[in-house]
Structure 1
């Protein structure tokens, strides 16, 4: 019985439908393709039917209904029709569980090609359907893994990429990143060591890489990008000086895309985000910024969860500058913890004041909007990175303050602390702009071995002029 007449069919037919044994699943014709609604799109983001257009399903043959799904949000391509499974029901998934596992979809892309198409959450006006996304996380350090975990828990399809064999084997064997985020099982996250799997199976690509390597990985990604891909940059740093432009990593990525004839949007994501807390489900606010505010709005709406609240903005330069600059202040605050393990909160407050004031002046000269300093990317991120015992940059500063050399301190850490590189690059940029930065200069003097910890801290505190 056709669904359009009664809305029901026999249990035996439903079973044949789910198993791909219904003859209609193999009978897609050119006339059927021409009958497809113009709003239909391939669900490369893993999104569900727009239920306002549910009646359009009934105008298609059952074979076409299988994957003619209306996409809301970013990242879509023209309709392609594959007979992989039944129409997603807006009310239950009773017909689809047999399609999820590796038995039916042995390759990564096939396993990503079908998932529960939506989740139901309770809003003020009752149940709401929320579309799922297909997200590729490039780089499985603690931050990339924590985000992947949060999005998997929220029902999204997540594919992680790593170059580290140890991480890959840990994820494949134990569903856990024991090197960077031990204690969190992520059985729903797929893992690969092939970048082409990310571009072929995902539409939102999250670049969770250190600033020193992100551009080389982007160069490898670019040949495989489709126009529908959206890139999210998590790196908090400045591009090498030879890159030119504004000096931001996101700007360097955009320049590379333009040189390759690509126009994919680049979104900057930053804010007060300690990775283990995000994985534990502690409520966290972060900023997503893009020159095209509509893209930032869609990403914020799409990737926010009940505990990860993303706020949209249109100042990616300011967001990225503050995301890098705050690491220098965290390094300085860590020095106090090393000098005074019994407590030095008064001194840390003075350093935060000096560093934040200098940052407002310097970053506005570099192109940041003034309001960004007082949002999640500015004072929010600076506060948590400077005070949290889990902050990598504060921890590195603490080791320096306790008397270890820079090389010894870095050798004791298995994760990258961006503050050292950020300090040197901000000082170089300030000299080129002719801006006095006594706070940054004193910190670089310590890192170069020209100043003692006590002298550097005294100079940084004294740099505040009110």
Structure 2
């Protein structure tokens, strides 16, 4: 495709991985971060695509800053953040769409561990939007022989897959840290997916989306790799470290820690059963030990699998 000007907001591992893919595809890429010498306006000026790869806590603030920059009505926003806003309980794409109601917003999510992508190992991802042509443009920009991109018409489901699996990944890290074995891990991940689908359905996402790359695919990658920051949080909690210690030494943000708290609040408001999320929350709060959390899950009332 013809050269596209892309502004990447966020110079962390994920932002730089996306920048490298787009640059390798022959596009003009500009990167901005809070520590950047360039102004936000200079980076975004004339950009046809603006990619947000910042952590959840910065999304609302950065979106409002971007609002003051003159943009073409054709500019496409791509959100690559996985989380929930603590104040509004909204997803990143909902925040961007609220600030820019007349622009196309595309969600990019999938089993994409940044370090593996930086090593140019093969990966696949999903781009989803309510504007199909916008998703197709973004698909072309990022598709390559090492990064295969699919389109999807369920942006909320794609976004929730990447967001909710971070909580399950913390639990998976605990499972491995306690050396509970393959059977336990398989049960946890499977029931975790059921929990994700249950939440997604209530919030308006499609069930089938969670069985694709942005749901099951991302869940498998994050629950099985020490490269995952959320997995590391759980693994180290199982090893006896405190959450404060772990986060102080973690490179980057473990979005599942914040997501867990926001998710539990919203689930209680909407009467959604989230037993795994609940135990992860109490574990993060230091109210239960990893073993106590396990016991609570194992000793819940027995029930049919698909209720």
TM-score class, shorter-chain normalisation, is over 0.9
1:278 aligns with 2:117: yes
Alignment of 1:303-382 (within 5 A): 303-340=142-179, 344-382=181-219
Q: Which residue of 2 aligns with 1:218?
A: 63
Distance 1:302 1:147, change over 3 A: closer
Q: Which residue of 2 aligns with 1:460?
A: 297
Find the aligned partners of 1:418 and 1:439 in 2 and give their Cα distance: 16
**SS, match of residue 321 in structure 1:** helix
Distance 1:394 1:456, change over 3 A: same
Q: Which residue of 2 aligns with 1:142?
A: 13
Find the aligned partners of 1:462 and 1:199 in 2 and give their Cα distance: 53
Q: Which residue of 1 aligns with 2:34?
A: 163
Q: 1:154: how far off?
A: 2.3
CA contact (8 A) 2:7 2:47 kept: yes
Q: Which residue of 1 aligns with 2:220?
A: 383
- Which structure has more relative contact order (CA 8 Å, sep 6+)? It is 2
Higher share of residues assigned helix? 2
Q: 1:307: how far off?
A: 1.2
CA contact (8 A) 1:351 1:460 kept: no
Find the aligned partners of 1:201 and 1:461 in 2 and give their Cα distance: 55
Find the aligned partners of 1:328 and 1:248 in 2 and give their Cα distance: 15
Deviations 1:65-105 (A, max 9, x none): xxxxxxxxxxxxxxxxxxxxxxxxxxxxxxxxxxxxxxxxx
Find the aligned partners of 1:461 and 1:380 in 2 and give their Cα distance: 25
Find the aligned partners of 1:248 and 1:439 in 2 and give their Cα distance: 21
Find the aligned partners of 2:299 and 2:7 in 1 and give their Cα distance: 46
Q: 1:337: how far off?
A: 2.6
CA contact (8 A) 1:150 1:281 kept: no
**SS, match of residue 68 in structure 2:** helix
Distance 1:388 1:462, change over 3 A: farther
Q: 1:150: how far off?
A: 1.9
Pick the aligned partner of 1:438 from 255, 268, 275. Answer: 275
1:234 aligns with 2:71: no
Deviations 1:166-186 (A, max 9, x none): xx5xxxxxxxxxxxxxxxxxx
Q: TM-score, normalised by structure 2?
A: 0.93
Find the aligned partners of 1:301 and 1:145 in 2 and give their Cα distance: 18
Find the aligned partners of 2:117 and 2:260 in 1 and give their Cα distance: 27
Alignment of 1:95-110 (within 5 A): none
Pick the aligned partner of 1:296 from 128, 135, 140. Answer: 135
Find the aligned partners of 1:330 and 1:344 in 2 and give their Cα distance: 15
CA contact (8 A) 1:134 1:156 kept: yes
Q: Which moved more, 1:197-206 or 1:266-275?
A: 197-206
**SS, match of residue 42 in structure 2:** helix
**SS, match of residue 329 in structure 1:** helix
Pick the aligned partner of 1:204 from 34, 44, 49. Answer: 49
Pick the aligned partner of 2:92 from 238, 243, 249. Answer: 249
Unaligned 5+ segments in structure 1 are 1-129, 169-191
Deviations 1:190-230 (A, max 9, x none): xx531011221421111000111111001001121321211
Unaligned 5+ segments in structure 2 are none
**SS, match of residue 160 in structure 1:** strand
CA contact (8 A) 1:198 1:205 kept: no
Distance 1:238 1:295, change over 3 A: same
Aligned length: 302
CA contact (8 A) 1:147 1:279 kept: no
Structure of larger gyration radius: 1
CA contact (8 A) 1:385 1:391 kept: yes
Q: Which residue of 1 aligns with 2:2?
A: 131
CA contact (8 A) 1:268 1:319 kept: yes
**SS, match of residue 436 in structure 1:** coil
Find the aligned partners of 2:184 and 2:270 in 1 and give their Cα distance: 30
